[in-house]
Amino acid sequence: MELYETNQLKIYNSLSKSKEIFKPVVEGNVGMYVCGPTVYSNVHLGNVRTFMSFDLVFRYLKQLGYKVRYVRNITDAGHLENDADEGEDRIAKKARLEKIEPMEVVQRYTVDFHETLQKINNLPPSIEPTATGHIVEQIEIIKDILQKGMAYEINGSVYFDVLKYNETEHYGILSGRNIEDSIHNTRELDGQSEKKNPQDFALWKRAEEKHIMRWPSPWGEGFPGWHLECTAMSTKYLGEIFDIHGGGMDLKFPHHECEIAQSKVKNKVNPVNYWMHANMLILNGQKMAKSTGNYILPNEIFTGENNILSKAFSPSATRFFMMQAHYRSVLDFSNDALEAAEKGYIKLMEALNKLDNIEVGKVSSVNIGDWKQRCYEAMNDDFNSSVLIANLFEGVKYINLLIEKKETISAADFKEFQNTLNTFVFDVLGLKNDLEQNASEKLNGLVEMLIKMRKEARDNRDWALSDKIRDELAVLGIQLKDGKEGTTFSIN
């Protein structure tokens, strides 16, 4: 039996604003779409927090035995500087400033994105489609929406008619807004907009003469609106109705609201059963954001090269810092908070490294079954990694008490204890044990040092010392092999 059959996973659905029991469209399978980065600059730690939140979701769904198709796109065209469809394309602007091709910008920052997520130990998604790879699909959706009368063409651009849509549907269903408020709040950016109403959003934009990223369409040369790519790619790979759609809180409006509107017109259905929104990472009391310059880059943390840091922090300690907060809570970044997280991380890894020192007995005085249940309950409660970590520290207490022989554990329980710890720490939270890695690195360094000392002994014709080093290493299971290129070693 799969774990999901015995575990009741609850997910907070931003649409219903409540926790709901998770029931996938197809039993045993999950389709999950997460809005990916716009690849015009290095991802900052705030972006990484959101991608890590959904990595946790992906990992836990897999742990429960679901077959997950996780689609996360790359926005490589169509995202303008301003959410109201104004301004330059972010990628084209960077290309212009750096005097390189837009696709060079895309390549550079896609590589950076992948490298960063790999360092932080995020799993790759199942499919990573790009906006420019799905222009044809986007054009087809626009044709369909136009044909249904919910969009209009003007000067080679096509806009979604939000007011008309709102006559029969609720534009604002996800973000809790209503159109009347937005009529008050939206100001014309330059008074020159060709839109019928400022609430309307672009499905297709005419490319001005100097706009490099352009494609032919029935409405002339242009490029797709940002919201459209996610509708095109999510429904292409996951179906018209799929299970989970995720992104940062700031994407709820207008991005996700527009996705719902597009799908409702095109497919006549609400596209997503569970909308999940990850909360923001805060720096200096404000949302971390590229546009305001209030951000820190992951690499600055790993190297310590930023004035707000006292030293470098490993990707694992950084990951632990993120995982200590529930994904729907705001998380404040600071050097102190990172230092505290690092201490916690080290404490957890040190405890895991001591597991082998536990002697098993006939009976258990600790209740491993109950403890394991609490770990699952934490994650079943809307992926509460914060409560999970508190439970893992309960496990650390058990480890210490068992080593001190103040508690006892049976062989079967010990096996379950060890498996559960490994599952949650490494598979679900995605942490790595750097302490273990450091130990093996140190061991290699130590053997290299002894090889060097043995060579010096041989150069001095001190055969007794050279043999002693080789033989004593052999007793420890470390074999030296002398060859033309020098001495190598293997550890049994």
Q: Which is nearer to Zn ion, 40 or 333 (CB)?
A: 40
Cα torsion 198, 162, 249, 144 to 10°: value is -120
How far apart (Å, rounded) are the C-alpha atoms in residues 359 and 375?
A: 24
How far apart (Å, rounded) are the C-alpha atoms in residues 486 and 452?
A: 10
Asked if 247 and 255 count as a contact pair (C-beta separation under 8 A), the reply is yes
CB of 55 to ligand AMP, least distance (A): 13
Name which of Zn ion, ligand AMP, none residue 230 binds, using a CB cut-off of 5 to 8 Å depending on partner kind: Zn ion
215-254: contacts with ligand AMP (CB under 6 A)? 247-248, 250-251
- Taking residue 77's Cβ as centre, other Cβ atoms within 10 Å add up to 26
Q: Which of 11, 34, 35, 348 binds Zn ion (CB under 5 A)?
A: 35
203-262: contacts with Zn ion (CB under 5 A)? 230
Q: Which is nearer to ligand AMP, 294 or 365 (CB)?
A: 294
How far apart (Å, rounded) are the C-alpha atoms in residues 438 and 142?
A: 55
Asked if 122 and 322 count as a contact pair (C-beta separation under 8 A), the reply is no
Name which of ligand AMP, Zn ion, none residue 297 binds, using a CB cut-off of 5 to 8 Å depending on partner kind: none
Name which of Zn ion, ligand AMP, none residue 266 binds, using a CB cut-off of 5 to 8 Å depending on partner kind: none
CA distance to 9, 11, 233, 331, per residue, from 384 (Å): 11, 10, 29, 14
Q: Which is nearer to Zn ion, 35 or 402 (CB)?
A: 35
How far apart (Å, rounded) are the C-alpha atoms in residues 120 and 114?
A: 10
Name which of Zn ion, ligand AMP, none residue 116 binds, using a CB cut-off of 5 to 8 Å depending on partner kind: none
Asked if 326 and 385 count as a contact pair (C-beta separation under 8 A), the reply is yes
120 forms part of the interface with ligand AMP (CB under 6 A) = no
DSSP state of 132: G
Q: Which is nearer to Zn ion, 35 or 142 (CB)?
A: 35
Q: Which is nearer to ligand AMP, 76 or 200 (CB)?
A: 76
Strands of the sheet with 281-283, listed across from one edge:
286-287, 281-283, 331-333
Asked if 248 and 277 count as a contact pair (C-beta separation under 8 A), the reply is yes
Name which of ligand AMP, Zn ion, none residue 46 binds, using a CB cut-off of 5 to 8 Å depending on partner kind: ligand AMP
Q: Which of 123, 173, 179, 289 binds ligand AMP (CB under 6 A)?
A: 289
Where does this chain touch ligand AMP (CB under 6 A) — which range of 281-289, 307-315, 363-371, 440-448?
281-289
How far apart (Å, rounded) are the C-alpha atoms in residues 358 and 361?
A: 10
Q: Which is nearer to ligand AMP, 280 or 325 (CB)?
A: 280
Strands (DSSP E) along 168-221, which ranges?
201-206
Cα torsion 375, 427, 382, 122 to 10°: value is 150
Name which of ligand AMP, Zn ion, none residue 420 binds, using a CB cut-off of 5 to 8 Å depending on partner kind: none
Residue nearest to ligand AMP (CB): 248
CB of 40 to ligand AMP, least distance (A): 8
Q: What angle do CA 343, 344, 348 make, to 5 degrees?
A: 115
Name which of Zn ion, ligand AMP, none residue 122 binds, using a CB cut-off of 5 to 8 Å depending on partner kind: none
CB of 46 to ligand AMP, least distance (A): 3
Where does this chain touch ligand AMP (CB under 6 A) — which range of 10-18, 33-41, 61-69, 307-315?
33-41
Strands (DSSP E) along 79-192, which ranges?
80-82, 86-89, 151-154, 157-160
CB of 282 to ligand AMP, least distance (A): 7
DSSP element (H, E) containing 476: none
Binding residues (CB under 6 A) for ligand AMP: these are 35, 37-38, 46-47, 49-50, 247-248, 250-251, 280-281, 287-289
Binding residues (CB under 5 A) for Zn ion: these are 35, 230
